[in-house]
Amino acid sequence: MPLLTRFRHTRATTVGLCERLEAEDFVVQSMPDASPAKWHLAHTAWFFEEFLLGHFRSDYQCFEPRYGLLFNSYYKGVGQAFTRAERGLLSRPTVRDVMDYRQHVDSAMEELLARRGDDAEMQRLAELGCHHEQQHQELLLTDIKHAFSLNPLRPAYQDQRPPSLATAAMPLRFAEFAGGVVPVGHAGSEFSFDNETPRHQVLLQPFALGKRLVTNAEYRDFVTAGGYRDPAHWLADGWAVVESAAAGDSLSQMFGDVWEWTQSPYSPYPRFKSWSGRIAEYNGKFMANQFVLRGGSCVTPRNHIRATYRNFFPPNARWQFAGLRLAKDC
């Protein structure tokens, strides 16, 4: 897909995801880890303005210089950022102002892509900007999900119901794998984030994976049976929180249902090198106290679902579309 076409499609998709929202929904921040829909809309515009327009177009007129403080997320190298946990306090700029901001950035970006379409560095950053926005498309939906889940009126993001899951899940069986030395990491010329590289070899002992994901009902039964009260299932830090609170050999549901928690800590691959320049903060500085999730969820953009994609969250994160698959040694 040509870069200009991809840019237009990505930007239109983000706005389209908000068409079902009422004005009041755009400002809600249900917890410190979530962000208002309006902030996601503005931040993704700011990313293009900050990392492309301000550097590749000498004639670019910034829409509102003060927006940098409001809509920078964590890029300390480019300026200060408004406190994440207080983004829901930003009743201004209005939703209309933010939409005008997006249109301003879109027009300038389209001119830039038309003028300097052969600039390799500009193309690299523009492609990153599109993938960055797709990440926020998923975050926008999960943040809306969390906010709506706290409302006693039980508002629905969409009227369409998912297919009925009333039928019993197939029995949980395991598929065995021999292990050995296997390649891990991204290879090829297609886009990838820096945390997916470099490709390297990993030794795996023989193992088995559940052929399907654990269902909500199975997890509920585990909790009801006292699983949460058994210290054998907890690490020390987690148990302290509990106490204070008193088909064939193939695997199904590998991609596109829920992100699957792994036991892999989110750490750099051997010989990892972060991106250089102003985007060096994109991934590397978060490689501590988090775990990797794989596979993609039902709201993950399709081209973000690939075997090498490394999503990551702290182990207490509960508002994403995330689940688990059982694994054991053989």
Establish if 85 belongs to a structural domain: yes
pLDDT of residue 247: 41
Q: Are residues 99 and 187 in the same domain?
A: no
Residue 122 lies in a domain: yes
Whether 110 and 203 map to the same domain: the answer is no
Asked whether residue 222 is assigned to any structural domain, the reply reads no
Residue entry with tokens 């090198």? 273
DSSP collapsed to 3 states, the chain? CCHHHHHHHHHHHHHHHCCCCCHHHHHCCCCCCCCCHHHHHHHHHHHHHHHHHHHHCCCCCCCCCCHHHHHCCCCHHHCCCCCHHHHHHCCCCCHHHHHHHHHHHHHHHHHHHHHCCCCHHHHHHHHHHHHHHHHHHHHHHHHHHHHHHCCCCCCCCCCCCCCCCCCCCCCCCEEEECCEEEEECCCCCCCCCHHHCCCEEEEECCEEEECCCCCHHHHHHHHHCCHHHCHHHCCHHHHHHHHHCCCCCCCCCCCCECEEEEEEECCCCCCCCCCCHHHCCCCHHHCCCCEEEECCECCCCHHHCCCCCCEEECCCCCCCCEECCCEEEC
189-208 pLDDT, tens digit each: 899 999 999 999 999 999 99
Residue 249: is its pLDDT beyond 60?
A: no
Q: What is residue 164's predicted lDDT score, i.e. its pLDDT?
A: 57
Looking at residues 40-57, what average pLDDT do you find? 97
Query: Quick one: pLDDT at residue 152?
Result: 97
Give yes or no: residues 198 and 264 share one domain. yes
184 with 308, same domain: the answer is yes
**Percentage of residues in the chain with pLDDT exceeding 70?**
95
Among residues of the chain, what percentage have pLDDT more than 90?
A: 77
Rounded to an integer, the average pLDDT of 173-179 is 94
Per-residue model confidence (pLDDT) at position 159? 83
Domain count for the chain, please give it.
2
Residue 67, in any domain of the structure: yes
Task: Assess whether pLDDT exceeds 70 at residue 214.
Answer: yes
pLDDT in tens, 142-160: 999 999 999 999 999 998 7
> For the chain, how many residues are written?
330
Whether residues 189 and 115 fall in one domain: no
Residue 279 has pLDDT above 70, yes or no: yes
Please indicate whether residue 254 or residue 6 has the higher confidence score (pLDDT).
6
Q: For residues 16 and 128, state if they share a domain.
A: yes
Residue 147 is predicted with a pLDDT of 98
When pLDDT is cut at 50, 70 and 90, the band that residue 231 belongs to is confident
Same domain, 65 and 188: no
255 and 113 share a domain? no
Model confidence pLDDT, tens digit, residues 86-120? 999 999 999 999 999 999 999 999 999 998 878 99
In angstroms, the Cα distances linking 195 to 123, 146, 327 are 20, 27, 24
Last residue of a domain, one of 95, 115, 149: 149
Summarised one tens digit per residue, pLDDT across range 256-265 is 899 999 999 9
pLDDT of residue 277: 87
Q: Span 174-184, mean pLDDT?
A: 95
Q: Are residues 44 and 107 in the same domain?
A: yes
Q: Using CA atoms, how far apart are residues 82 and 71, in angstroms rounded to an integer?
A: 7
List the strands of the sheet with 327-329, edge to edge. 174-177, 207-210, 327-329
- Clarify whether residues 145 and 190 are in a common domain: no
In a domain, 16, yes or no: yes
Is the whole-model pTM more than 0.75?
Answer: yes
Phi, psi (degrees; rounded to nearest 5) at 27: -105, -10
- Looking at beta carbons, which pairs linking 97-103 to residues 24 or more positions away fall under 8 Å? 98/38, 98/41, 98/42, 98/45, 99/15, 99/41, 100/63, 101/42, 101/45, 101/63, 101/64, 101/67, 102/11, 102/15, 102/41, 102/42, 102/45
- Statement to judge: residues 29 and 134 lie in one domain: yes
Domain extent, residue 65, equals: 3-149
Beta bridge partners of residue 203, listed in sequence order:
181
Examine the domain organization and report whether 39 and 102 are in the same domain: yes
Residue located via tokens 């688990």: 324
Q: Is residue 158 part of a domain?
A: no
Question: If pLDDT is split at 50, 70 and 90, which confidence band does 167 have?
Answer: low
**How high does pLDDT run on average in the chain?**
92
β-pairing, 327-329 vs 322-323, is unpaired
Instruction: Indicate whether 237 belongs to any domain.
Output: no
Is the model more confident about 284 or about 60? 60
Compare 106 and 303 and report the one with higher pLDDT.
Answer: 106
